[in-house]
Amino acid sequence: MEELLTPVSQTYRKSSQNEDLLSISKAPGPTGPAPEPEVGFRGASPEAALQALKSQPSYGTLLSTLKYLQHGLQGKHPFNIQKPSPQSAQIVHVLVTEIVPNYWTVMVDASTGQSKGDVDVLISCLQSLTGINSLLAYIRALLKEARSDSKALKNSQVAFNLSFSLQLLSKLLRGNNVIKHIWNNIYSLDTRTQIRPLRQELVSLLTSGKIISLSAEAEDLCRQADQSSGDAWISNANLYMDWLGYNIVQCARSETSQESLKLCADVSARAMRFGNPELLLRDAEGRTTFELLLSFFPPLEQRKVLNLILKLLLDKYLKTAGDNIGTKASPIIGAASGALGAVIGNGEAWKTHLVSWLTGAYGAGIGENCSIRRVAVAVFAEDRDTMASILEKSLSQFGDRLYIKHASLLQQDAHAQVLLLSAGYVHRLAPIKLTLLLRSSTYLNAISNRISASQTRARFLGMVVGEALSRLVHGKETKLEFKMDEMDTEEARWYKSLVQVSDKIGPLDPLRELATSLKPAHVVKSTKPAVTPARRPTKQPPQSGFIIEEIEDNEEGEEPDLVPYAKPDSDAEDSDDDPTLINRDKPKAPVYIRDLISYFRDTENYDRQKLALTTAPTLIRRKANYGTEVSSHAEELATLLVGLQDKYELDNFDNLRLQGMVAVVVAQPKIMGQWFAKTFFDGDYSLSQRASVLITLGLGGREIAGFEMSEYSSTAQFPSKTLPAKVEKHFLVSPSSSNRLESSASKLKPLPPNALDTLTQSLSQAFLAPLAAEAADAVTGPDALKLSSFTSRLDSQSLSGTGKQNKAKPRTRAIPNTTASVIASSFFFPLTSRFQAAVHSSATRNIGILFQPDLLALYIKTLALLLHAAGPSTLALPQMTAEFWDLLLGLRARHSAVAGELAVTRALLLGLVALLDVNEGDMRSLCERHGREVVDSMEWVSAVFGNTRGGDVAVTSGGNDEGPREGEENEVKMLAAGVLIRLREAVDKYQAVLMGDLIGFT
Note the pLDDT tens digit of each residue in 424-483: 999 998 889 889 988 889 889 999 999 988 888 888 999 999 998 988 888 777 888 888
pLDDT (0 to 100) of residue 800: 47
Helical axes 962-989 vs 902-918, angle rounded to 10°: 30
Could you tell me if 418 and 380 are in contact, meaning their C-beta atoms sit under 8 angstroms apart? Answer: no
Residue 813's pLDDT is: 43
User: Which DSSP state fits 750?
Assistant: B
Distances (CA, A) of 194 to 78, 126, 189, 227, 353: 19, 20, 7, 41, 35
Cα torsion at 725, 729, 735, 736 (round to 10°)?
Answer: 140
Across 204-213, 320-329, 551-560, least confident range: 551-560
- The span from the CA of 855 to the CA of 351, in Å, is 37
Instruction: Say how far apart CA 678 and CA 698 lie, in whole Å.
Output: 15
Average pLDDT over residues 986-992: 77
**The pLDDT value given to residue 718:** 55
Helix, strand, coil shares, percent, the chain, to 5: 65, 0, 35
* Burial classification of residue 132, based on how many CB atoms lie within 10 Å of its CB (0-12 exposed, 13-18 middle, 19 or more buried): buried
For residue 420, the model assigns a pLDDT of 92
The pLDDT of residue 419 is: 92
pTM above 0.85, yes or no: no
Pair 446, 395: CB distance under 8 Å: yes
Of 299-303, 835-839, 865-869, 872-876, the one with minimum mean pLDDT is: 299-303
The H helix count followed by the E strand count for the chain is 44, 0
Q: Which of 276, 294, 153 has its CA nearest to residue 212?
A: 276
Q: Cβ distance 978 to 955 under 8 Å?
A: no
Average pLDDT over residues 198-210: 86
The share of the chain scoring above pLDDT 70, in percent, equals 69
Q: Is the pLDDT of residue 753 over 50?
A: no
Paired with 750 in beta bridges are 709
Round to whole Å and give the CA distance between 58 and 39.
Answer: 9
| d(C-alpha 307, C-alpha 310), whole Å | 5
In whole angstroms, give the CA distance from residue 361 to residue 363.
6
Is residue 574 within 8 A of residue 582, CB to CB? The reply is yes
Q: Is the dihedral of CA 884, 889, 894, 895 positive or negative?
A: positive
Identify the band that residue 896 occupies on the pLDDT scale cut at 50, 70 and 90: very low
Best-predicted range by mean pLDDT (6-20, 521-535, 800-814): 6-20
Give the model's confidence band at 212: pLDDT under 50 very low, under 70 low, under 90 confident, else very high.
confident
Please report the sign of the dihedral spanned by the C-alpha atoms of residue 192, residue 197, residue 198, residue 203.
positive
Short-list 300, 426, 303, 421, CA closest to 372 = 421
* Cβ–Cβ under 8 Å, residues 926 and 454: no
Looking at per-residue pLDDT, the higher value among 712 and 405 belongs to: 405
Question: What pLDDT sits at residue 514?
Answer: 73
Coil, helix or strand for 791?
helix
Q: Specify the pLDDT at position 33.
A: 42
Q: Does the structure show a pLDDT above 70 at 492?
A: yes
> In terms of Cα–Cα distance, which of 908, 911, 936, 934 is closest to 923?
934
d(CA 863, CA 374): 32
- Name the 3-class secondary structure at 996: coil
* Predicted confidence band of residue 421 (pLDDT cuts 50, 70, 90): very high
> Which residue from 98, 228, 118, 225 is spatially nearest to 170, judged by alpha carbons?
228
Alpha-carbon span 372 to 319, nearest angstrom: 9
Give the C-alpha separation, 197 to 57, whole Å: 35
- Report the Cα–Cα distance between both ends of the chain, in Å, rounded: 116
- The answer to whether residues 826 and 673 touch, using CB atoms and an 8 Å cutoff, is yes
- What's the pLDDT band for 978 if we cut at 50, 70, 90? confident
SS (H, E, C) 684-739: CCCHHHHHHHHHHHHHHHHHHHCCCECCCCCCCCCHHHCCCHHHHHHHCCCHHHCC
Task: Kindly tell me if the per-residue pLDDT of 630 is higher than 80.
Answer: yes
Q: Measured between alpha carbons, how far is 460 from 487 in angstroms, rounded to an integer?
A: 8
Strand partners, 709: 750
Query: What angle, rounded to 10 degrees, do the helices at 902-918 and 931-947 form?
Result: 140
Name residues whose C-beta falls within 8 Å of residue 880's C-beta, 6 or more positions apart in sequence. Answer: 824, 828, 829, 867, 870, 874
Residue 690 CA to residue 696 CA, distance in Å, equals 10
Question: Is the predicted pLDDT of residue 950 greater than 60, yes or no?
Answer: yes
Mean pLDDT of the chain: 75
Indicate the pLDDT class of residue 534, thresholds 50, 70 and 90. Answer: very low
**Rounded to an integer, what distance in angstroms lies between the CA atom of residue 767 and that of residue 769?**
6
| CA gap 785, 977 in Å, rounded | 28
Spell out the residues 6+ positions from residue 649 whose beta carbon is closer than 8 angstroms to its own: none
Which is it for the CA torsion 750, 754, 760, 766, positive or negative?
A: negative
- Whether the CB-CB separation of 414 and 369 falls below 8 Å is answered with no
CA distance 379 to 358: 12
